[in-house]
Amino acid sequence: MELDDGVFGLLVNEDVIWYAINNELANKRVGTACTKDRGEVHGSNAKPYKQKSTGRARRGDKKSPLLRGGGTIFGPKPRDYSYSMPKKAKRLALKSILSLKVQSETLKIVEDFSIASGKTKDLVGILKNFLFDQRTVIILKDDDPLIKQAGRNIPRLSFLSYNRLRAHDLFYAKQVIALEGAVKNLNAFYNAQGEVK
């Protein structure tokens, strides 16, 4: 099958791939870690002992971060780690990864198929020569729920639609299997007018 050089034959841009993967990982962070500072810790506000003449350090209350049970100094608070990445840069990163997979000969193209039953054994029968004990990604030509249902019990196998690729999954996949229809859609989708090549 003929592959478009504007999608599968680019010079690999490692920098933009790194940024795209880190962007996806940052957007997945929940950011719910929370600690209490000295103003939020439960405890008395009374001064534990007088200021002078004891020879000890000055203490305003028992909630000092220096004491057991006190607050945390500069601890994490709930925050949003997500940030946006330029659309053209993200698409360039995905095209670079696809080109990398072609250069490393880890991209395989198979005929279009469907799993009408949605059963795992039917999918394994079709992909028996491709499913190994390694991370595998299948690129679909559309969002087919039955194929995804059939493959959800297969370890280290994930599915991506041609228009919703993930840089992290693609880059770390040991092999990428693309349907013929998905390749045609990729050629058209990533070669839209005004696209960075």
CATH of the domain at 138: 3.40.1370.10
C-alpha distances in angstroms, 197 versus 7, 50, 106, 163, 184? 8, 72, 22, 17, 17
The answer to whether position 71 is within a domain reads no
Confidence of residue 193 (pLDDT cuts 50, 70, 90): very low
| pLDDT > 60? residue 197 | no
Share of the chain above pLDDT 70, in %: 97
pLDDT 10s digits, 53-74:
999 999 999 999 999 999 999 9
- Sort 63 into a burial class: Cβ within 10 Å, 0-12 / 13-18 / 19+: buried
Mean pLDDT of the chain: 90
The answer to whether position 175 is within a domain reads yes
The answer to whether position 147 is within a domain reads yes
pLDDT given at position 196: 44
Distance CA 64, CA 62 (A): 6
pLDDT given at position 51: 95
The answer to whether position 160 is within a domain reads yes
The answer to whether position 63 is within a domain reads no
Q: Tell me the residue range of the domain where 119 lies.
A: 5-12+87-189
Question: Structurally, how many domains does the chain consist of?
Answer: 1
- Nearest alpha carbon to residue 27 among 156, 190, 167, 172: 167
The answer to whether position 79 is within a domain reads no
pLDDT 10s digits, 144-190:
889 999 999 888 899 999 999 999 999 999 999 999 999 999 988 88
pLDDT 10s digits, 105-126:
999 999 988 888 889 999 988 8
